[in-house]
Amino acid sequence: MGEYILEMNHIVKEFPGVKALDDVTIKVRPGSVHALMGENGAGKSTLMKCLFGIYHEDAGEIILDGKEEKIMNSKQALDLGISMIHQELHPIRFRPVMENIWLGRFPMRGIAVDKKKMYKSTKELFKQVELEIDPLVLAGQLSASNLQLVEIAKAVSYKSKIIIMDEPTSSLTENETAHLFKIINQLRDQGCAIIYISHKMEEILKISDEVSIMRDGKYVGTWDAAELTTDLIISRMVGRDMTNRFPPKEYEPSDEVVLKVEGLTSPIPKSFRDVSFELKRGEVLGIGGLVGAQRTELVEAIFGLRDIEEGSIEKDGKNFKIKTPRDAIANKIALLTEERRATGIFGVLSVLDNTVIVDQRKYAHIGILNDRKRYKAASESNKELRTKTPNLDELIQNLSGGNQQKVLLARWLLTEPDILILDEPTRGIDVGAKYEIYTIIHRLAAAGKSIIMISSEMPELLGMSDRIMVMCEGRVTGFLDSNEADSVKVMNYATKFM
């Protein structure tokens, strides 16, 4: 084997009206972690999909172990020793975890699937990667973080020479990320090459050996990770210096309480218990905590997606019951969900339809939709948020993650909410798009909107919140004002089991 296990030379890929990859070359060494960075739309995932056989390059060559390969599909890629952990997970939710892992390669006993052997193999695999999950549990019952860890275990099961990891820690806690890094180090020691796509600078600098940067479908360069800093990476990614990660705060929350939650308790054991807090007008209230803190479950209950056993919710001083999302929307509460693809966008529908879908009645007369009204509303809302899309008829699934998130924000802003709940609003979004989302949040708060923001990214939680409420295992363990909050205090509360 030569110096490189993989060479992708002068790769070109075009879609109608877009040159997604323009003469891109990257070279990866065996037994190394090679980070691939760039803003959303830079071409990172497109390049990796060419390597994995999902797309076929229009020009260029792929050389694997010194031999040129034409990779026509994902099965061929797997046979060649290349596996990929995708950014957006699509498990078969109503089948057991073990079937999701060995799908397409079930162990057989005659003409029947050998489920006993499959169970044993899954247990051995989970032991290897130190994962404590029952192989028989349905995939749909797992949290986003556990599904991510299962995908990582699945990639390990192929015993691949090259593993592509596309945003593998997007839904992982710090402890789970440390666990992943331990697995990566084991794979690197065994000679495996990891191609690691992430927007998290601290991770890249910690785990990578080399970093390649792309911008606007072009290759910018490759550097030793030890030579780089966060500022250097950002400036090379965006082509300009970004001295501040968060926009300046030019507003102050009022003392007026718009939402008062008292003693909110779920009927489900080990979910949220006795949660009380106040939200003020024009305030960004951050909610911190580790996976299992029941933050998402709490805000989903406030939005009417989950049952409440005890407790009360007041808005503008009036007690009201929320049994369905329709009740929440009627009371001017909106929720941007954590899983953008699973519970946010309608991928097969247009940007237009995704924007106006919450309340189509506003754009109808005697039951007939008025397309002019729909276009006008969607156009104005997306223009306000600077959503980048060829037109409103474009399928939303073709937009970058940051622009999909803007469409979802545009959707909820059309409901004219007083309270906007954002669950991991910048998950899987690049540093440039994050800044734009942060600017939008500040603008909404300055206009008197009240924001509840769940975030697992400590810098985001500290940089964007006026106050932070921390939860641990379903209970509120503390509140911190922005001027006193730091990562140590947040983590102390996040691990303070009651």
Q: What is the pLDDT of residue 286?
A: 96
| Beta carbons within 8 Å of 484's beta carbon, 6+ residues apart | none
- How far is it, in rounded angstroms, from Cα 279 to Cα 485? 18
Examine residue 105 and state whether it is found in any structural domain, yes or no. no
Q: Are both 206 and 287 inside the same structural domain?
A: no
Examine residue 13 and state whether it is found in any structural domain, yes or no. yes
Task: Say yes or no to pLDDT of 242 above 60.
Answer: no
Among 129-133, 152-156, 213-217, 278-282, the range with the most confident prediction by mean pLDDT is 278-282
Instruction: Render the burial of 335-363: b for 16+ CB within 10 Å, e for the rest.
Output: bbbbbbbeebbeeeebbbbbbbebeeeeb
Burial class (CB in 10 A: 0-12, 13-18, 19+), 234: buried
Count the domains in the chain: 2
Task: Say yes or no to pLDDT of 342 above 70.
Answer: no
Instruction: Give residue 454's pLDDT band: very low, low, confident or very high (50, 70, 90).
Output: very high
Mean pLDDT of 194-221: 89
Q: Are both 299 and 429 inside the same structural domain?
A: yes
Q: What is the pLDDT of residue 368?
A: 76
Examine residue 98 and state whether it is found in any structural domain, yes or no. no
Q: Are the C-beta atoms of residues 4 and 201 closer than 8 Å to each other?
A: no
Round the average pLDDT of the chain to a whole number and report it.
86
Q: pTM of the entire structure?
A: 0.59
Q: Are both 471 and 346 inside the same structural domain?
A: yes
Domain-terminating residue out of 171, 204, 238: 238
Examine residue 252 and state whether it is found in any structural domain, yes or no. no
Tens of pLDDT, residue by residue over 135-147, are 999 988 887 778 8
Task: Say yes or no to pLDDT of 14 above 50.
Answer: yes
Tens of pLDDT, residue by residue over 374-390, are 888 888 888 877 788 88
Among 13-17, 26-30, 40-44, 230-234, the range with the most confident prediction by mean pLDDT is 26-30
Q: Are both 268 and 338 inside the same structural domain?
A: yes
Q: Are both 363 and 222 inside the same structural domain?
A: no
- CATH code where residue 179 lies: 3.40.50.300
Q: Are both 208 and 279 inside the same structural domain?
A: no
Give, in order, the Cα–Cα distances in Å from 266 to each of 275, 308, 315, 452.
10, 5, 20, 19
Task: Say yes or no to pLDDT of 94 above 50.
Answer: yes
Task: Say yes or no to pLDDT of 16 above 70.
Answer: no
Instruction: Give residue 392's pLDDT band: very low, low, confident or very high (50, 70, 90).
Output: confident
Q: What is the pLDDT of residue 23?
A: 93
- How far is it, in rounded angstroms, from Cα 437 to Cα 409? 9
Q: Are the C-beta atoms of residues 169 and 203 closer than 8 Å to each other?
A: yes
Q: Are both 274 and 392 inside the same structural domain?
A: yes
Which of 214-218, 364-368, 384-388 is predicted least confidently?
364-368
Q: Are both 178 and 318 inside the same structural domain?
A: no
Examine residue 106 and state whether it is found in any structural domain, yes or no. no
Q: Are both 440 and 383 inside the same structural domain?
A: yes
Instruction: Give residue 311's pLDDT band: very low, low, confident or very high (50, 70, 90).
Output: very high
Q: Are both 36 and 70 inside the same structural domain?
A: yes
Task: Say yes or no to pLDDT of 196 above 80.
Answer: yes
Task: Say yes or no to pLDDT of 439 above 70.
Answer: yes
Examine residue 137 and state whether it is found in any structural domain, yes or no. no
Examine residue 161 and state whether it is found in any structural domain, yes or no. yes
Which of 50-59, 105-114, 338-347, 396-405 is predicted least confidently?
338-347
Q: Are both 224 and 261 inside the same structural domain?
A: no
Task: Say yes or no to pLDDT of 250 above 50.
Answer: yes
Q: Are the C-beta atoms of residues 233 and 213 closer than 8 Å to each other?
A: yes
Tens of pLDDT, residue by residue over 396-416, are 888 877 788 888 888 888 888
- How far is it, in rounded angstroms, from Cα 246 to Cα 386? 18
Examine residue 157 and state whether it is found in any structural domain, yes or no. yes
Q: What is the pLDDT of residue 260?
A: 96
Instruction: Give residue 1's pLDDT band: very low, low, confident or very high (50, 70, 90).
Output: very low
CA neighbours within 13 Å on the CB side: how many for 62?
20
Domain-terminating residue out of 191, 207, 238: 238
Element (H, E) at 459: helix 458-464
Tens of pLDDT, residue by residue over 259-282, are 999 999 999 988 999 999 999 999
Domain-terminating residue out of 209, 238, 267: 238
Question: Max Cα separation, the chain?
Answer: 72
The number of residues making up the chain comes to 498
Residues spanned by the domain of 488: 257-494
Mean pLDDT of 423-451: 85
Q: Are both 392 and 457 inside the same structural domain?
A: yes
